[in-house]
Amino acid sequence: MGFGVPELLVIFFLLGAILCIVALLDILRSEFTGYNKLVWLLAVIFFPLIGSLAYFVFGRKQKAS
């Protein structure tokens, strides 16, 4: 027995959920300037997969140093 469609869907769902949780935790623990923190939180909450990926590509560069 190999992996079928239901098993792959569960794996992709779990990976997406983990990515979303990691992004939310990173946003909450980091300092941002202005309203960037709120914008990223809303993006990840309302668009979990796309928002998380966008945060890791663009948002991490916006952290306050």
Dist CA 60 CA 20 (whole Å): 14
Check if the beta carbon of residue 55 is closer than 8 Å to that of residue 40: yes
pLDDT of residue 15 exceeding 70: yes
Strand partners for 32: 63
Query: Is residue 1 over pLDDT 80?
Result: no
Mean pLDDT calculated for residue range 1-25: 91
Q: For 22-57, how does the pLDDT look when each residue is reduced to its tens digit (9 = 90+)?
A: 999 999 999 998 899 999 999 999 999 999 999 999
| Per-residue pLDDT, 62 | 85
Confidence bin at 16 (pLDDT 50/70/90): very high
CA distance linking residue 39 with residue 59, whole number of Å: 10
φ/ψ region of 27 (left if φ > 0, alpha if ψ in -120 to 50, else beta) reads: alpha
The conformation of residue 12, written as its DSSP 8-state character, comes to H
